[in-house]
């Protein structure tokens, strides 16, 4: 049977070889608006991987559009833009450039104020200058001129960004548009700027040049644009603006609903593209949380969309399309929605990286090279660091043996995937295990490595990736029988009572508290059954979905929870903490554990007792490396990676392991 994902689709007069569109994303791979070799290498790798269409994003339409985006507002950027487009097109892939004005969300040099529809601050929290009628006319013209410049540079199409809370969104939304002229007030007026931009672009590039527009299917902002409003806007953009394709985004960057993180179900936002598809007569793109081909196929076969938009999925695995086309989907490195290397990079103004793909942003520098001499390599530890060390060493032609003391590969990824909404980390553990299975690496499970074993194997090089062990805080009573470690709770090795106190409010503590608070709640299938049968009213079902059977208290010594959680994920997890009814005590010191519970002091005050049946310690971890002294004396070349070297996140473990393997 024909694979719908690899059927052709037409946008204007442009025929795409399949239905996979790599969406434009901010990657931080340009300086002073210039497109450098890093960005070109990044996108060329994805073009080689088999996507039908790739969009760079975004290019500025004038000097106030954004301080850190690709330059599109001047002819001096043409040569870099042409190289960019050419690198994509030479691999039978359609090259698109997204054009945009960030408005009040623009991060500009000091002393330069952003512009917007009204004086409502954006993400930089700087009050913008409302655009004058003359400024509006000039900005509309700038969009058209920039689109024509993209056409001159060799791009096959352009995409107008009219979403995510940028300038066109700021005119469209009642949140940010407080104008009283022809561009403010009712929806018809608020749409005017976006429609004029669309017409300007269409007039500039001509009738046969494909123009895509990206809109929000829903803003998910309190008091903002509704789903029905978005349908009206989409229809106007097609019928009056001459748009050839509508790319449906989810919400603003500042939205109150998580959009791309691991707790967002795969393909959930398809209902938004479905609503737009039922409204317009041009191809519609679905986007956000489509990390695998099967989700894409489902959206296509269920008539939810015409084109599947994949962004971070192709950061994680550039060759996802080609692997799917060849029937090798078990080799795909699936994006897990952690956002640590990609979306977190935006707020931190750093270059994109990826937990799942250590080559991101350094595609040229990490190209595979076969080592001049094959070495016997011993990898100790089968977690994220050890597996990546083994794979990268084997890729260079070395003879690699991987030793793991437990009965499965993946290490702490299995613990990270235990809390609700974090299951994708287990998916990553499985992906890594499959990669090892398909590689020449020899795996030894249930094998404790000793100096005697190392001597018997006589390796030419060793990588120690033995991970960490839970830390035991210096609290009186920490050895009592009702005290357990968070790792054992997440692994399902212990049973906790009805009243639980979690000591430690870092990532592991927050995740463990959420894991426990979820116990006894309605699952998704239960909720749907009860809802469609109207068994209870909505509010009652909502409470049953968020209220568990355990009373959980989370104790943290400093005044902030989740200090080691990335910003993209942290706000959503803390929202879950509040919603789940977890009692949070920050600036609270654990003093003593007794049989009835735990004594604590808040802000250095008098001791108080929190009654508890179980105390869970989530007080961090300690590097575990039992071979340091031995290997140093033995003279065997050795590297240490992951938590065995220094406690960090999974992303650092992956990078360190990969680099350790390459260095052999």
- Check residues 605 and 482 and name the one with the higher pLDDT: 482
> Rounded to whole angstroms, how far apart are CA atoms 416 and 426?
8
Give the model's pLDDT for residue 343.
87
Q: Using DSSP, state whether 189 is helix, strand or coil.
A: helix
Output 322-328 pairs: Cβ under 8 A, ≥24 positions apart: 322/49, 322/50, 324/3, 324/5, 324/6, 324/50, 324/293, 325/3, 325/6, 325/18, 325/50
Q: Give the mean pLDDT of the chain.
A: 95
pLDDT (tens digit per residue) in 443-471: 999 999 999 999 999 999 999 999 999 99
pLDDT (tens digit per residue) in 306-348: 999 999 999 999 999 999 999 999 999 999 999 999 988 877 7
Say what percent of the chain tops pLDDT 70: 100
Domain ranges of the chain: 4-11+20-348, 376-469+623-662, 472-619
Name beta bridge partners: 88.
none
Domains 376-469+623-662 and 472-619 share a fold: no
Tokens of 348: 């931190």
Torsion of CA 311, 243, 75, 141, to 10 degrees: -130
pTM assigned to the model: 0.94
Q: What b/e sequence results for 86-107 when a residue is b if at least 16 CB atoms lie within 10 Å of its CB, and e otherwise?
A: ebbbebebbbbbbbbbbbbbbb
pLDDT (tens digit per residue) in 635-663: 999 999 999 999 999 999 999 999 999 99
> Rounded to whole angstroms, how far apart are CA atoms 402 and 389?
9
Mean pLDDT of 51-55: 98
Res 156 pLDDT > 90: yes
| Pairing status of strand 461-464 against strand 376-380 | parallel
Mean pLDDT of 137-145: 98
Q: What CATH number has the domain spanning 4-11+20-348?
A: 3.20.20.70
pLDDT (tens digit per residue) in 200-248: 999 999 999 999 999 999 999 999 999 999 999 999 999 999 999 999 9
Mean pLDDT of 158-172: 97
pLDDT (tens digit per residue) in 289-308: 999 999 999 999 999 999 99
Enumerate the H helices of 518-649 as residue ranges.
524-532, 538-546, 567-579, 628-634
Helix axes 507-517, 567-579, angle to 10 degrees: 40
Torsion of CA 585, 261, 362, 68, to 10 degrees: -90
pLDDT (tens digit per residue) in 254-286: 888 999 999 999 999 999 999 999 999 999 999
CATH top-level class of 376-469+623-662:
alpha beta
Q: What is the CA radius of gyration of the chain?
A: 27
For the domain 472-619, what is the CATH superfamily, name and number?
FAD/NAD(P)-binding domain (3.50.50.60)
Give the model's pLDDT for residue 31.
85
Say what percent of the chain tops pLDDT 90: 91
Asked whether the beta carbons of 343 and 354 are under 8 A apart, the reply is no
If you write DSSP's letter for every residue of 489-505 in order, what string do you get? HHTT-S---SEEEEE--
Res 386 pLDDT > 90: yes
**Confidence category of residue 359, pLDDT binned at 50, 70, 90:** very high
> Rounded to whole angstroms, how far apart are CA atoms 334 and 461?
30
What backbone phi and psi angles, to 5 degrees, belong to 333? -90, 100
CB-count burial class (<10 Å; 0-12, 13-18, 19+) for 4: middle
Give the model's pLDDT for residue 110.
85
Res 14 pLDDT > 90: yes
- Apex 58 CA angle, 147 and 131, nearest 5: 75
Give the model's pLDDT for residue 345.
83
Res 350 pLDDT > 90: no
Residue 325: Cβ within 10 Å count: 18
Count the alpha carbons within 13 Å of 546 in the hemisphere toward its beta carbon.
13
Tokens of 376: 């016997």
Q: Using DSSP, state whether 9 is helix, strand or coil.
A: strand
Mean pLDDT of 479-489: 97
Output 124-130 pairs: Cβ under 8 A, ≥24 positions apart: 128/103, 128/104, 130/179
Separation in Å, CA 278 to CA 161, 186, 301: 21, 24, 15
Of the candidates 188, 190, 162, which has an alpha carbon nearest to the alpha carbon of residue 176?
190
Give the model's pLDDT for residue 123.
87
In the chain, what is the straight-line distance between the N-terminal and C-terminal CA atoms, in Å? Answer: 46
Mean pLDDT of 2-14: 97
Res 111 pLDDT > 90: no
């Amino acid at each position: 049977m024909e694979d719908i994902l690899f059927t052709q689709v037409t946008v204007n007069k442009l025929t795409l070889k399949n239905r996979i569109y790599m969406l434009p994303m901010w990657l931080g791979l340009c300086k002073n608006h210039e497109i450098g070799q890093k960005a070109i290498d990044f996108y060329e790798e994805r073009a080689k991987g088999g996507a039908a269409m790739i969009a760079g994003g975004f290019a500025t339409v004038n000097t106030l559009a954004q301080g850190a985006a690709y330059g599109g507002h001047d002819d001096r950027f043409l040569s870099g833009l042409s190289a960019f487009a050419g690198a994509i097109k030479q691999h039978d892939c359609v090259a698109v450039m997204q054009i945009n004005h960030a408005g009040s969300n623009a991060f500009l040099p000091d002393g330069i104020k952003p512009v917007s529809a009204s004086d409502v601050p954006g993400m930089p929290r700087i009050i913008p200058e409302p655009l004058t009628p003359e400024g509006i006319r000039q900005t509309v013209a700038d969009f058209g001129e920039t689109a024509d410049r993209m056409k001159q540079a060799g791009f096959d199409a352009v995409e107008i960004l009219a979403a995510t809370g940028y300038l066109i969104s700021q005119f469209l939304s009642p949140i940010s548009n407080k104008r009283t002229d022809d561009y403010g007030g009712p929806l018809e007026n608020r749409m005017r700027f976006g429609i004029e931009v669309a017409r300007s672009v269409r007039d500039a590039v001509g009738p046969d040049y494909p123009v895509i527009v990206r809109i929000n299917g829903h803003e998910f902002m309190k008091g903002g644009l509704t789903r029905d409003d978005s349908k009206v806007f989409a229809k106007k953009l097609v019928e009056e603006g001459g748009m050839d394709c509508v790319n449906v985004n989810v919400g603003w960057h500042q939205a109150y609903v998580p959009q791309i993180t691991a707790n967002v179900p795969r393909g959930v936002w398809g209902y938004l593209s479905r609503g737009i598809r039922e409204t317009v007569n041009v191809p519609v793109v679905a986007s956000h949380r489509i990390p695998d081909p099967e989700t894409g196929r489902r959206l296509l076969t269920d008539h939810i969309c015409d084109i599947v938009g994949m962004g971070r999925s192709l950061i994680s695995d550039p060759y996802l399309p080609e692997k799917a086309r060849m029937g090798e989907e078990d080799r795909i490195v699936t994006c897990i929605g952690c956002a640590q290397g990609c979306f977190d990079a935006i707020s931190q103004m750093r270059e994109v990286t990826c937990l799942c793909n250590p080559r991101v942003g350094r595609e040229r520098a990490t190209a595979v090279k076969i080592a001049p001499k094959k070495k016997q390599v011993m990898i100790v530890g089968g977690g994220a660091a050890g597996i990546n060390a083994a794979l990268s060493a084997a890729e260079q032609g070395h003879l690699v043996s991987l030793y793991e003391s437990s009965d499965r590969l993946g290490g702490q990824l299995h613990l990270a995937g235990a809390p609700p909404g974090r299951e994708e980390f287990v998916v990553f553990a499985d992906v890594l295990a499959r990669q090892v299975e398909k590689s020449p690496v020899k795996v030894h499970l249930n094998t404790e490595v000793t100096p005697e074993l190392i001597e018997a194997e006589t390796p030419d090089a060793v990588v120690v990736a033995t991970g960490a062990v839970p830390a035991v805080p210096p609290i009186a009573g920490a050895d009592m029988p009702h005290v357990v470690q968070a790792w054992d709770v997440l692994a399902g090795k212990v049973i906790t009572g009805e009243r639980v106190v979690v000591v430690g409010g870092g990532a592991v503590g927050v995740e463990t508290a959420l894991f426990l608070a979820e116990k006894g709640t309605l699952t998704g299938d239960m909720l749907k059954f009860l809802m469609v049968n109207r068994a209870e009213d909505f509010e009652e079902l909502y409470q049953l979905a968020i209220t568990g059977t355990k009373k959980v208290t989370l104790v943290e010594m400093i005044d902030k929870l989740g200090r080691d959680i990335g910003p993209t994920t942290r706000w959503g997890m803390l929202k879950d903490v509040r919603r789940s009814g977890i009692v949070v005590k920050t600036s609270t010191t654990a003093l003593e554990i007794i049989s009835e519970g735990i004594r604590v002091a808040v802000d250095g005050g008098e001791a108080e007792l929190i009654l508890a049946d179980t105390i869970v310690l989530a007080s961090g971890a300690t590097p575990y490396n039992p071979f340091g002294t031995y290997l140093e004396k033995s003279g065997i070349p050795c590297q240490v990676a992951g938590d065995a070297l220094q406690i960090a996140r999974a992303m650092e473990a992956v990078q360190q392991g990969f680099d350790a393997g390459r260095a052999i």
